[in-house]
A and B are shown apart, each in its own frame.
Chain A
Amino acid sequence: MLTIYGKQARFCDGISRRNFLKIGGLSMGGLALPQLLQAEARAGIRRSQKAVIMIYLPGGPPHQDMFDLKLDAPSEIRGEFQPIKTNVPSIQICEHLPRMAAMMDKLAVVRSISDAVDDHSDFHCMTGRSKRNQPPGGWPTFGSAVTRLLGSSNQAIPPFVGLEPKMQHRPYNDATPGFLGAGYRSFRPEGSGKDDMVLNGVTLDRLADRKMLLSGFDHFRRDVDASGLMEGLDRFNEQAFGVLTSSKLLEALDFQREDKKVIERYGKGDPKPHGDAAPMLMEQFLVARRLVEAGARCVTVAFGFWDYHGNNFKNAKADMPLLDQGVTALVEDLHQRGLDKDVSVVVWGEFGRTPTINKDAGRDHWPKASCAVLACGGMKTGQVIGATDRLGAEPSERPVRFAEVFATLYHQLGIDVNKTTITDLSGRPQYLVEDGCQPMSELV
């Protein structure tokens, strides 16, 4: 027995950051070290902490009842909510978003998202792309592309974490790594692999035994494999043991470790799924912050269910305060921790809602106009971008495409959308965003 344990030293290979980059690069589908360094150099980052938190509101929130109130519209359109002043004199938003109003200087509202499609799906919000004319294998989601380009910034933390659950309406989970393949899938602590993260019928001691056995018996020579896959596996082995035995990742996911006051600031949500979509877990805003702080580059959250075909106002009145609290807690937190220049936040849904209120006091799908909220990441905030017409029906000023927001997010990560391409499965270099879309000059 002792001889077995004695062999443990083989495993201690003390991976340096440089080595790690190499391993990460190779295991990440063949992006070699020089390319990775170039990618980082292009990005203007060496010790990168840049990250993006994407908050998806499944179902499509009512833009005109949240950030773009239309007091001059006729009553069948106007809605029952009143606007309130914000801490930016020229901007008013809904009375049920008072905390956002109080920190409007830290937010940027886009009122004129113009190219949504009538499709209940996270695809547009997560990939920035249309589902039509996809390259073979499909468009990769933002976090997968970022993983491909930048790798992980910390070996204990997956670069891309998806906190959204598997939702009942399947297309709310439409976004995939697309042509990048399963290796670039988000790590989903709430998804199908959830059971794999807690010990199953095996005690911690037994796992420790197994770990030692593995280091004792797994002495296959790594150098037979020039592709980096074996080294990559070793790295994930360490990471996996870490996850199972209390690691940086688990710590990051465990919001209870946070100061009580901070947890309170984020508030208490509702763990039950709303509608056929997501629960309203306030702690996920906090977990997202903890993950990016620990080194994740992209964290996605799905929050609630906004498909208010009936009782628009009653539902909105219940849901908006939670969103208000979560988003403001996150933004405030990012500022307090000095992450506000590095971590960009985007909050949006797949489309807006009809100007006309239907017979059930609801609003139906309306892809012609919708809203987005952006914060932190060093973006210029305290402003409204674009406007819709008198009825909130169509953009009247500065129509903004989804892909422009993505170009901005890439830009804030230091990735040049005009130069960077990823090769798809047919060998064609693909740009990161739709043709013609640039980082938004208002924001960067």
Chain B
Amino acid sequence: MFKVLRILSLVLGLLGQNGLSVSRSSAAPAQVTLLSVDPPEVVLTSSDQTVQLVVTLQMSDGGLRDVTHSAEYSTSEIDPESPTRSAIEIVRGRVTPQGDGEVSVCASVFDPVQNKKVTGFAKVTVRDYSQERSLNFANDIVPLLTKNGCNSGGCHGKASGQNGFHLSLLGFEPDFDYDALVREGRGRRVFPAAPDQSLLLRKASGQIPHGGGQRLDMQSDAYRLLRRWIVQGMPKGSTNDPKVVRIEVFPRERILQGGDLQQLRVVAYHSDGSLQDITRQAEYKSQQPDILKVDTEGGMSSLERTGEGAVMIRYMGLVDVARVTVPSNQSLPSDAYAHFEPKDFIDVLVMQKWRKLGIAPSPACSDEEFVRRAFLDAIGTLPTPEEVRQFLADQSPSRREKLVDQILERSEYASYWANSWGDLLRNKRRYGDGYKRGTFAFAAWIKNAFAQNMPYDQFVRAILTAQGNVSDNPPVVWYREVRNQVHQVNDTSQLFLGTRVACANCHHHPYERWSQDDYWGFAAFYARLGNKQGEVANEQAIFVKKEGETRQPRSHKVVKPKGLGGPEYDYVRGEDPRQKLAEWMTAPDNPYFAKAIVNRSWAHFMGVGLVEAVDDLRTTNPPSNPQLLDALAKDFILHKFDLKQLVRTIMLSRAYALSSIPTPYNATDRQNYSRYTPKRLSAEALLDAIGAVTGSMEKFNGFPSGTRALELPDEAVNNYFLDVFGRSQRETPCECERSYAPNLAQILHLMNSPEIQSKIAHEKGCVSQLLKSDKSNNQIVEELYLRAFARFPRPDEFNDAVALVASAKDRKSALEDFEWTLLNAKEFLFNH
């Protein structure tokens, strides 16, 4: 009951904010019900300011359509006494002041359905047009350098500058840039006495050779503004001048049909409460260039592909994002969702999204597909023929629940997840066998944590706050690779908070709000960490110093420990600041912690993260389904960080149990879970699977026979197969380190290596056993299919395969060839 209510409340909550969805079923063409102009009223207080109007049609079907570029604009002075010349000029919705005055702007479009003109109005006031404003370097000039690419990482923004001229990366250090322009270069860069002779202007406008080519047209506003700043004597501006505290884009969310255009408008809010339209000054970047494109002036348009996209807007270290949905333009049959009956909140929320996009799910997968998929996804292990048969024989409605529960109780569950977390926690024997004891102990600890289903918050806390010796507290091994504050910040944030802050080590993060102060504030949690020779040979012991503070390397000021966007803590003598970090991170209201892990798990099972990459949560990289991410996180916290429960919830959703075969109604979808996303098996899982099918498990030097690849404690166990199939070298906390890209060496190895061939032909292997048994050809073929594909052969496959075995002169080699074929088939190599 509780669950039903929860689903219901989620659904109701969503309907409220879903006013934008377009109904595609109505036959009558939509007509315009309202034309609105944003902003309805605006005041311009200098000749530099411009305003981008956004003109939107509200349609009778509930849709919104942007007509900013196509509307007709007319103006009329509100004060009849004003001069005949209009105070403003409007081009494609952009208002440029021409003199003081109050103007009424009328925007109109012709609606062919109603056969009439539709109009809307805005009021624009221009004041102090002729009063010259003193410019502020940081507010007026730096954004211009950024927008024109002068301070980008490829040009003057790189650490060594370019041809002797060095600016701070993306203008994050205006003081430094001011000196570079005004004081360095023997004053030739700017020349107030003859501003047009300034090197800055002559180079940028291409009048004299410039490595970066022509960046500014001499007729452009940017050129004129730069020139005026030089004429004014390069004012730096007062420290009391208002600063930009926030930027905001309008509209934040829209639905665009293929090829539609949407003009954005961006406003900066200043510390004194004033606003400024910065549509022209801001930078734009499409986060999904296959779905969405955007021009330098904030005009964005959808492309062919159905899906969701976002445009990142960046201005002076601040960011915002505009989200776009591009629904499919084909109409769905009326029963498109009939086979998909939502079972839990996941299903409700993914379906919500499909409806919004006009796509429909693939059919549900079969039990055969489910059993293989569930085994491989949850425990990295193929089901045995017996396990498949058992499951298929179970006709009870709760058979999948039972199966998932059984799988999660198996010992392979712990091995599989310990292997994957060993990668992320970088349990690495880098320095040779002397360090084996540590990596083995840590591997065992991780495995035990998964076997006990240790709540995730406790798991992370144990690692973050580890101290002492390896023998008593194996998680201290984490600090062996994650050995200094920079690694500690980068790994902690990327792994446990799903947020990459490494950029902010040296400069303001280019796509996020994190500054160097934020970075080093985070580093301060580790200020008191010390290491010394431990009791175990070669192993360090971790201890906490009584005192210790962290300084920000640029400002050299002491920074207090502070989580990302979290509260600031005081240094207290004798206290380990890491405890505060763990508290902040694992608190239920932490904005990242639960989301990061549910996104990671979701991506593991569903093939694509709600946020991609899974450890790159940020404002400018929004989740494809924010409601689902929130709901998963909430559910996870509600269940006290129970990882198995999370896995169970995902695996038992109907969304997880869809076929991977696309339909015409979801063929282009890649991010909305309208079908199961096939994945390659990991190197370890594949090697184990080959062992299971051939009946000849891989032997690893120094480990008892029967040890599976998934059970290897660290990366240093020699094995060509694992290397060539891209196992993680545990150099980074990123899942992306594991490589799934195919290459020739892998395929040659699968097809033709002595190792695989000897497994197939092994005297105690599967083929030999089958030959020795009294099984009929039919049974043998069935057995091989069940082993490799976890399903019975289809009639055509069955007939072909039986004919092949029956007609063979040499039965052994025929069976070997057949097993080889199954091992090299895509159906085997993928989880699907």
Could you tell me the distance in whole angstroms from the C-beta of B66 to the nearest C-beta in chain A?
A: 25
A236–B752 CA distance with the chains assembled, in angstroms: 13
> Could you tell me the distance between the alpha carbons of A425 and B500 in the complex, rounded to whole angstroms?
10
Q: Which one, B253-261, B575-583, B649-657, B718-726, is touching chain A?
A: B718-726
Residues 181-235 of A at the B interface (beta carbon under 8 Å): 181-185, 187-188, 192-193, 195-197, 199-202, 206-207, 209-210, 213-214, 216-218, 220-227, 229-230, 232-234
Given contacts A193-B724, A240-B748, contact A214 B824 (CB under 8 A): yes
In the complex, which residues of chain B have a beta carbon less than 8 angstroms from the beta carbon of A213?
804, 817-818, 820-821
Residues 393-443 of A contacting B (Cβ, < 8 Å): 418-419, 421, 425-429, 431, 435-436
A443 to B490, CA, bound (A): 41
* A291 at interface by CB-CB < 8 Å: no
Q: Which residues of B contact A138 (CB under 8 A)?
A: 731
Q: Is the CB of B744 within 8 A of A200?
A: no
Let me know if A27 and B742 touch, CB within 8 A. Answer: yes
Q: Is the CB of B158 within 8 A of A435?
A: yes
Instruction: Of the listed stretches B409-417, B684-692, B753-761, name the one at the interface; the rest are far from the partner chain.
Output: B753-761
Residues of chain B within 8 A (CB-CB) of A175 are none
Q: Give the number of residues in B that approach A within 8 Å (Cβ atoms).
A: 75
Bound Cα distance A226, B739 (Å)? 17
Whether A182 contacts B817 in the complex (CB less than 8 A), given A240-B747, A427-B500, comes out as no
- Which residues of B sit under 8 angstroms from A207, Cβ to Cβ? 752
Measured CB to CB, the nearest residue on chain A to B501 is A426
Knowing A185-B745, A206-B817, A428-B503 touch, does A224 contact B661 (C-beta < 8 A)?
yes
Cα(A232)–Cα(B826), bound, Å = 11
In the bound complex, CA of A81 to CA of B111 (Å) = 91
Cβ-defined partner of A236 (8 Å) among B502, B660, B742, B821: B742
Contact A197 B748 (CB under 8 A): yes
> In the assembly, what is the distance between CA of A431 and CA of B154, in Å?
8
Contact A200–B662 (Cβ < 8 Å)? no
CB distance from A150 to the nearest CB of B (A): 15
Within 8 A of A (CB), among B649-689: 660-662, 667, 670, 675, 677-678, 680
Q: Indicate whether B571 reaches chain A with its CB closer than 8 angstroms.
A: no
CA–CA, A196 and B751, complex, Å: 8
Instruction: Tell yes or no: B290 within 8 A of A by CB.
Output: yes
Q: Is A158 an interface residue (CB 8 A)?
A: yes
Least CB distance from B285 to A in Å reads 12
The complex places the Cα of A217 from the Cα of B723 at a distance, in Å, of 28
| Closest chain A residue, CB of each to CB of B806 | A1
Segment at the A interface, from B80-88, B334-342, B347-355, B795-803 = B795-803
Q: Mark B22-61, 1 if CB is under 8 A from A, else 0.
A: 0000000000000000000000000000000000000000
Select which of B500, B824, B832 is within 8 A of A224 by beta carbon: B832
Within the complex, which residue of A222, A233, A418 is in contact with B829, where a contact is CB–CB below 8 Å?
A233
A188 to B746, CA, bound (A): 12
Complex Cα distance A184/B832, Å? 25
Q: Please indicate the chain A residues that have their CB under 8 angstroms from the CB of B155 in the complex.
A: 418
A187-B745 CB under 8 A given contacts A200-B753, A426-B490? yes
**Chain B residue with minimal CB distance to A238?**
B747
B742→A183 contact, CB < 8 A? yes
Bound Cα distance A373, B290 (Å): 44
Q: Which residue of B lies closest to A26 (CB)?
A: B741
Contact B824 A218 (CB under 8 A): yes
Q: Does B827 contact A (CB under 8 A)?
A: yes
Question: Which chain B residues border A234 with CB–CB below 8 Å?
Answer: 826
**B741 engages A193 (CB within 8 Å):** no
Q: Identify which of residues 254-289 in chain B touch chain A, using a CB-to-CB cut-off of 8 Å.
A: 289
Contact A233 B742 (CB under 8 A): yes
A425 to B733, CA, bound (A): 9
Is the CB–CB distance between B153 and A183 below 8 Å? Answer: no
B732 close to chain A: CB less than 8 A:
yes
Contact with B along A20-49 (1 / 0, CB 8 A): 000000011100101000000000000000
Beta-carbon nearest neighbor of A226 in chain B = B670
Q: Pick the contact of B752 from A136, A183, A244 — CB < 8 Å?
A: A244
Q: Is A137 close to B, CB under 8 A?
A: yes
What's the least CB distance linking B693 to chain A, in Å? 14
Query: Are B741 and A182 in contact, CB atoms less than 8 angstroms apart?
Result: yes
Cβ–Cβ < 8 Å partners of A137 in chain B: 729, 731-732, 737
A277 CB, nearest partner CB in chain B, Å: 22
Q: B490 to nearest A CB, angstroms?
A: 7
Measured in the bound complex, the distance between the Cα atoms of B510 and A421 in whole Å is 15
Q: Which residues of B contact A183 (CB under 8 A)?
A: 726, 739-743
Q: Name the one of A182, A196, A202, A241 contacting B726, with C-beta atoms under 8 angstroms.
A: A182
Residues of A contacting B502 in the complex (Cβ-Cβ under 8 angstroms) = 426-428
A158 engages B820 (CB within 8 Å): no
Given A3-B800, A426-B502, do A210 and B726 touch, yes or no (CB 8 Å)? no
Q: Which of B667, B678, B743 contacts A182 (CB 8 A)?
A: B743
Residue with the greatest number of chain A CB neighbours at <10 A, chosen from B616, B761, B830: B830
CA distance A234 to B744 in the complex (A): 10
Report the bound CA distance from A202 to B289 in whole Å. Answer: 48
Q: How many residues of A contact B (CB 8 A)?
A: 69
State which residues 792-823 of B face A: CB under 8 Å.
796-797, 799-801, 803-804, 807, 813, 817-818, 820-822
Known contacts A138-B731, A181-B726, A426-B502; is A236 also within 8 Å of B154 by CB?
no
What residues on B are CB-neighbors of A426 within 8 Å? 490, 494, 500, 502, 732, 734
Interface hub of A223, A419, A425 (most chain B Cβ within 10 A): A425
In the complex, whether A8 has a CB less than 8 A from a CB of chain B is no
Is residue A302 contacting chain B, with contact meaning CB distance below 8 A? no
Closest to A177 in B: B739
Chain A residue contacts of B675, Cβ below 8 A: 224
Indicate if the CB atoms of A206 and B813 lie closer than 8 Å: yes
Interface presence of B392 (CB below 8 A): no
**Interface assignment of B159: CB less than 8 Å from any CB of chain A:** yes
A76 to chain B minimum Cβ distance, whole angstroms, is 39
Assess whether B613 is interfacial by the CB under 8 Å rule: yes
Q: How far is the CA of A117 from the CA of B96 in the complex (A)?
A: 59
Does B127 touch A at the CB level, under 8 Å?
no
Distance in angstroms between the alpha carbons of A225 and B661 in the assembled complex = 9
Please report which residues of chain A, range 248-284, place their CB below 8 angstroms from some CB of chain B when the two chains form the complex: none
A218, B731: Cβ atoms under 8 Å?
no
* A383, CB-defined interface residue at 8 Å: no
A contact residues around B208 at 8 Å (CB): none
Known A-B contacts A201-B757, A206-B817; the reply to A136 vs B734 at CB < 8 A is yes
Measured CB to CB, the closest approach of chain B to A33, in angstroms, equals: 10
Interface presence of A66 (CB below 8 A)? no
B425 to chain A, nearest CB (A): 14
Q: A213-B817, A225-B678 are in contact. Are A425 and B734 (CB under 8 A)?
A: yes
**Is A288 among interface residues, defined by CB-CB distance under 8 A?**
no
B824 adjacent to A136 (CB under 8 Å): no
Q: How far is the CB of A443 from chain B (nearest CB, A)?
A: 18
Chain A residues, Cβ within 8 Å of B246: none
Indicate with 1 or 0, residue by residue over B101-141, a CB within 8 angstroms of chain A CB atoms: 00000000000000000000000000000000000000000
B825 near A: Cβ within 8 Å? Answer: yes
Q: Do A233 and B747 form a contact, CB below 8 Å, given A218-B826, A244-B752?
A: yes
Determine if A4 and B804 form an interchain contact, defined as CB atoms under 8 angstroms apart.
Answer: yes
CB-CB under 8 A from B731, the residues of chain A are: 136-138, 425
**10 residue pairs A–B, Cβ–Cβ below 8 Å:** A187-B745, A217-B822, A218-B827, A223-B662, A227-B677, A233-B747, A233-B829, A236-B743, A241-B751, A426-B502
Q: Which residues of A are interface residues toward B (Cβ below 8 A)? A: 1, 3-4, 27-29, 32, 34, 136-138, 158, 179, 181-185, 187-188, 192-193, 195-197, 199-202, 206-207, 209-210, 213-214, 216-218, 220-227, 229-230, 232-234, 236-237, 239-241, 243-244, 418-419, 421, 425-429, 431, 435-436
7 residue pairs, one from A and one from B, having the closest CB atoms: A183-B741, A181-B739, A182-B726, A136-B732, A436-B160, A218-B825, A196-B748
Given contacts A187-B745, A209-B817, A236-B742, 16 further A-B contacts (CB under 8 A): A27-B741, A158-B743, A179-B737, A181-B741, A187-B743, A193-B720, A201-B754, A201-B761, A214-B825, A217-B818, A217-B822, A230-B830, A243-B744, A244-B752, A425-B736, A426-B490
